[in-house]
Amino acid sequence: MKKYARSWTRQQTALANSGNRFTAFTLVELLVVIAIIGILIALLLPAVQAAREAARRTQCRNNLKQMSLAMLLHNDAHKMLPTGGWRYYWIGDPNLGFDRRQPGGWIYNILPYIEEGPLRQIGRGQAGTVKAASLGTLVGQTLRHGNCPSRRGADLYPAPAGFACNASPVPAKAGRSDYAANGGATVPLWWDAPFIGDAATVLKFPNIYKLPTDTMCDGVICAVENIRLKKITDGLTATYLLGEKYVQPEHYYDGQDAADNESIFGGYDWDYIRWTTYSPLQDRQGLSDWYSFGSVHPGGTNISMCDGSVRTISYTLDAKVHQRLGSRADGNIVDKSSF
């Protein structure tokens, strides 16, 4: 009996002791777990990045949509699309309306239609140095819809070429746009707008300072002139209105890309106008291009048509089709299924 009692006691003691022992991972097991976690993260990271890029692309498309609708609202109000303005060294003038007298470009002229009317009123009713100072303040503003989030935020960036005949002083930083209007299939001859301190002075002497006509431009946003929708005879659904512009990636933030170094409120220039002379490009290190549409997005760039719809245009789109989509009235109607 005692023998069985001692055996039972030993068994209970062994069971109790075994319950108090703590087990742990060996070093090999820990390394295996870490390796598995690393593999899972590596597998999931591209999916997460793709989801983020999809969200940013959607926001970019929405920006284009808002700006395109603003252009069409401009057309509803004034019976014409916005002027492209005079030249980059002129800032928009709030006293000179929305037609060919206006030195500011298309971005300046759609401000009231994207809920940015107060910016369009800066300097209103002023003259001389007082107005010049107010317009200098305007240069240092940005737009919430002006930038593609895949590239950069709506912020102020160095503007080393920042100069304006009618604004002084001009701040060292200015807002930039990642979107450009369709200037046509052919890069036009530049109009050398005069360097005079006030646009009203230019308008007083039309025989000396002859403003160009829309015959210099086969797109929808031209220097000085306003284009009416009835002149887009190739069709609103088959003609570009706005698109993302190509920018060198290494110069997103420093203002050293000569086609991306001006305030967004200036006149006609490749900072705000692009052409379909060349195929759209994906942003690429070391490649300078001042004329093309393009973006950072993989696969293609976002473009809005003259009816306000937004499409993604492949970088491999046939060059002839791309050119025809830039011309408003070349007679070569493009089948929508081809782009």
Long-range contacts of 201-210, Cβ-Cβ distance < 8 Å, separation of 24 or more: 203/96, 203/101
pLDDT value at residue 142: 92
pLDDT value at residue 48: 65
Query: Is beta strand 300-305 parallel, antiparallel or unpaired with respect to 310-314?
Result: antiparallel
Tell me, what amino acid is at 287?
Answer: L
Confidence of residue 7 (pLDDT cuts 50, 70, 90): low
pLDDT in tens, 189-239: 778 888 888 888 888 888 888 887 766 799 999 999 999 999 999 999 999
pLDDT value at residue 20: 52
pLDDT value at residue 163: 77
pLDDT value at residue 6: 52
pLDDT at 250 over 90: yes
pLDDT in tens, 162-172: 678 999 888 88
**DSSP letters along 213-224, please?**
-GGG--SSS-SS
Q: Which of 45-54, 287-296, 305-314 has the lowest mean pLDDT?
A: 45-54
pTM for the whole thing? Answer: 0.84
Tell me how far apart the terminal alpha carbons of the chain are, to the nearest angstrom: 96
Percent of the chain with pLDDT over 90: 66
Percent of the chain with pLDDT over 70: 90
pLDDT at 264 over 80: yes
For residues 112 and 74, give the distance between their C-alpha atoms in angstroms, rounded to a whole number. 9
3-state class (DSSP) for residue 236: helix
pLDDT value at residue 333: 80
Helices (H), the chain: 2-20, 27-78, 106-109, 117-120, 128-139, 199-204, 319-326
What Cα–Cα distance (Å) separates residue 51 from each residue in 26, 61, 329?
Answer: 37, 15, 39
pLDDT in tens, 138-154: 999 999 899 999 999 99
3-state class (DSSP) for residue 4: helix
3-state class (DSSP) for residue 303: strand
- Per-residue pLDDT, averaged over 169-189, amounts to 92
Higher-confidence residue of 44 and 137: namely 137
- Per-residue pLDDT, averaged over 235-262, amounts to 95
pLDDT value at residue 16: 53
Higher-confidence residue of 113 and 199: namely 113
Sorted by where each begins, the domain ranges of the chain are 44-338
- Per-residue pLDDT, averaged over 243-254, amounts to 96
For residues 263 and 267, give the distance between their C-alpha atoms in angstroms, rounded to a whole number. 9
